[in-house]
Chains A and B, each alone.
Chain A
Amino acid sequence: MLSGLLDGIFSGISIGSVLLLAALGLAIVFGLMGVINMAHGEIMMLGAYTTFVVQNVFKGFGGVWFDLYIFFALIAAFIVTALFGLVLERGVIRYLYGRPLETLLATWGVSLILQQFVRSVSWVLVIGIVLFCLLFFGALKFLSRRPDFDRIRNWVITIMLPLSAAIAIVTGIVIGQTYKLAATKPWFGAQNVDVTAPRWLRGGLPVGDFQLSYARIFIIVLTITCVVAVYLFLNRSAWGLRIRSVTQNRSMSACLGIPTQKVDALTFALGSGLAGIAGCAVSLLGSVGPNTGQNYIVDTFMVVVVGGVGKLVGSIVAAMVIGTATYLVGSGTLANLLEPVKPLADFFTFFATTSMAKVMVFALIVVFLQFRPAGLFPQKGRTVDA
């Protein structure tokens, strides 16, 4: 009985910590910038694939290196996804501030592209994309020095876009013909890939008659570290101060000399980087595929909405509550506990699968939002929102 409950709480917290880790980046991007990033799950996936690559590289080194690869993978995942986030913010999202629904659709488009990208990425594709970017953006950069650039800009784009695309595609086909499979073979393919945890993360710590899996303990520790780091960054560093001030009043911050565009880019990169770390953690729990991100996106949004936008503590509490509730209902623990009360036990047995637990938890969330529409910890203060 007691060990069952303990097991429930531990599993709940570990599910919750995965949720929290995944939601942390979202809470920053959505909570502080008001940007709905539907590609968040796919950025996590990118982090997971980075882990896979790093693991394969370190497998070559062998020995102690392979045992420690996970730390390098964390750093690599953070850097890769943060850079991707930076490009995404500079390239797309900065044109869409103040239009949240449009941002949502645009980032969904990005998420579709990313899903297909990891399926079909190969040397040919990479070479083609690099060539296209060099030609197209290089030409734009080169011609932008001309004094009459504003006038000819549209013409340049209409000519260079198909031209560089054609050159890139032809080069890709030629390379594909010459080097055959070596160049066209997808790196990952559509199948899921498996990340092997290092030896010291396998197995578990026996407590009573059940085991605390090391991988899950590692994720809990990682989550705590990330939360503390984000908290310190936002509340103790100069850039954190700037981020918070831009969140509260963008135009006033701009008047006081804070570079709001840089702050936006930095915030988005930070959020994406955290998603990358989450992806690295997720890869320890199971195999990773192009659809991995989709499984997390709605859950993490629920965490942010329930927690209340703009407060880290809200996300923490919400993630733990949702994680524990999902586990307790889904594993049937609650149904067992309520055995004496027959109708209640039957009711909870009906929901005692992972997917049905989700049904119940989401329904509860909708009910909860009836009483607290702004979440657990709403932002206080006057807003123009009537």
Chain B
Amino acid sequence: MDITATKPGFDWRKRRFLLIEGAIVLAIILLLIFVIPPFLVSIGQAFRVNLLGRYLALAIVALGIDIIWGYTGILSLGHGLFFALGGYALAMYLQLQPDGQLPDFFSLYGVESLPIFWQPFSSLPFTIFAAIIIPTVVAAVLGYLVFRNRIRGVYFAILTQAALIVFFNFFNGQQKLINGTNGLKTDTATIFGQTVGSSTVQWSFYMLTVVLLAVAYALCRWLTSGRLGRLLIAIRDDEPRVRFTGYDPTAFKVLVFAASAGLAGMSGALYTVQSGIITPKAMDIAFSIEMVIWVAVGGRASLIGAILGTLIVNFAKSFLSEKFPEVWLFFQGALFLIVVTVLPGGLVGWVRSQGLDYSRTLLRGKQRVTTYPSLEEDPDVEYERQDLTNRKSDG
């Protein structure tokens, strides 16, 4: 109360922006739930609703990558690991429904009793907890071990990739524990007495995804604004300097890495129920790097960009692989090259830096003056500028 009294104008404005942003997010949620799905159904593209739900789930992991890569400058190429852990947690719960009997595939390998680590997954609260907490803990341990030694940059990226391969090989090879290569199917399982693959359950998961995406957005927004957000950006831009200023970058990096892994776990769980299966392929190296390109296309260090990028790239992927399956890899490769060389800020970054100016030029026909007005009018400066252009065109 007294804070608003001391700085009324500032705080009021900030609050107004926050309110506007909240209203926009709410509007988008309502749009995604009440307008877009009926529209897609009406034009006979009902399966696109399911695709949209999956891609919105993927947008959550993209948010996670954005907060570590875009804001903190840690490039993880192993987020498929956390994604898969979340997916497997929920899939294990669904396999044990309705009454905790032994899942069918175990009989193929002659396993008689449920392995111990499956036991707790018969409870839903534990599963929801585990789908987020297990990836978080794995990431925190891995992150602590690595960041403590000041391993960073490309070394960190390669190490996360190695961790990914470790888990991939483990999940792929252990038929007797988690059905190996075949993965766990979820769409034939039942939840609350209904088949997971049925349209009502899928529809509720779609709504849940939209809401959780908004929650994840709010969380990332909170993490990246204020003092913590500025500290993360400082770590990205000059980590030694942050250390010399008296902060401990390791703690913050572990925190943000763990948070992003938690988001990946949530995303994996939501994606799994909507796609109907989780296999070790979710821990493919290519899939994890693909996540990075979603963020890069949308625009790193921009949360909206991460979500937009995920949707754009994935819909482009589904469109291209339907029409020209051969072109997709070429297209994806070109996307990597273009984003890195020509559009380092992604779409949102481009709009921020140049797009506004361009549209202004188109509308009004003149460019905004970006230097000091007095300089623009100074005849000496004008002369020198002319001189420089002449010299350039001569040489």
Contact = CB atoms under 8 A, between A and B. Distances in A.
Interface of A: 36, 92, 95-96, 100-106, 108-113, 115-117, 119-120, 147-148, 150-151, 294, 297-298, 301-302, 305, 353, 355-356, 358-359, 362-363, 365-366, 369-370, 373, 385-386
B interface majority secondary structure: helix
Contact of A359 (B150, B169, B240, B286): B169
B166 A363 contact: yes
B394 to A, nearest CB: 7
Given A112-B336, A373-B149, A105 B296 contact: yes
8 contacts: A105-B293, A106-B340, A112-B286, A147-B393, A147-B394, A150-B393, A305-B159, A365-B162
A108 B392 CA distance: 37
B159 A366 contact: yes
A100 B154 contact: yes
Nearest to B164: A298
A359 B145 CA distance: 18
Given A96-B341, A100-B153, A294-B286, 17 more contacts: A36-B154, A96-B340, A101-B154, A109-B334, A109-B336, A109-B337, A110-B333, A113-B330, A115-B329, A297-B285, A356-B173, A366-B142, A366-B163, A369-B159, A370-B149, A386-B240, A386-B244
B166 A358 contact: yes
A300 B249 CA distance: 30
B162 A366 contact: yes
Interface of B: 75, 142, 145-146, 149-151, 153-155, 157-159, 161-163, 165-166, 169-170, 172-173, 240, 243-244, 285-286, 289, 292-293, 296, 326, 329-330, 332-337, 339-341, 344, 392-394
A150 B326 CA distance: 37
B243 A386 contact: yes
B363 to A, nearest CB: 20
Nearest to A103: B340
Contacts of A147: 393-394
A373 B151 contact: yes
Contacts of B286: 112, 294
Nearest to B77: A104
Nearest to B240: A386
Given A104-B75, A355-B173, A386-B243, A112 B340 contact: no
Nearest to B241: A386
B161 A116 contact: no
Contacts of B344: 102
B170 to A, nearest CB: 5
A109 B326 contact: no
Given A120-B326, A359-B166, A386-B240, A109 B149 contact: no
A115 B285 CA distance: 14
Contacts of A385: 240
Contacts of B149: 369-370, 373
Given A100-B154, A356-B170, A370-B149, A105 B292 contact: yes
B362 to A, nearest CB: 15
Contacts of A362: 162-163, 165-166
Nearest to A119: B326
A117 B327 CA distance: 10
Contacts of A305: 155, 158-159
B333 to A, nearest CB: 4
A353 B176 CA distance: 15
Nearest to A360: B166
Given A109-B332, A113-B330, A363-B166, A92 B75 contact: no
A108 B151 contact: no
B31 to A, nearest CB: 32
A95 B170 CA distance: 39
A113 to B, nearest CB: 4
Contacts of A365: 162
Given A147-B394, A356-B170, A113 B158 contact: no
B40 to A, nearest CB: 30
Contacts of B154: 36, 100-101, 104
Given A109-B340, A113-B334, A359 B157 contact: no
Nearest to A365: B162
B10 to A, nearest CB: 36
A358 B169 contact: yes
A104 B157 CA distance: 9
Contacts of B153: 100-101
B185 to A, nearest CB: 23
A108 B336 contact: yes
B334 A302 contact: no
Contacts of A297: 285
Contact of B151 (A110, A119, A369): A369
Nearest to B284: A294
Contacts of B155: 305
Nearest to A106: B340
User: Which of B158, B332, B334 counts the most A-chain CB atoms under 10 A from its CB?
Assistant: B158
Contact of B337 (A36, A106, A117): A106
